[in-house]
Amino acid sequence: MREVKINRIYKHFKGDYYLIVDIATHSETKEKYVVYRGLYEDGKLWIRPLDMFLSEVDHEKYPDVEQKYRFELQEINTKK
CATH code, domain with 18: 2.30.30.320
Is the residue at 75 inside a domain? Answer: no
- The number of distinct structural domains making up the chain is 1
Note whether 6 and 22 are within 8 A (CB). Answer: yes
Predicted TM-score of the model (pTM) = 0.89
Residue 22 pairs in a beta bridge with 35
Q: What is the pLDDT of residues 7-43, one digit of tens each?
A: 999 999 999 999 999 999 999 999 999 999 999 999 9
Is the residue at 35 inside a domain? Answer: yes
Domain span at residue 53 reads 9-60
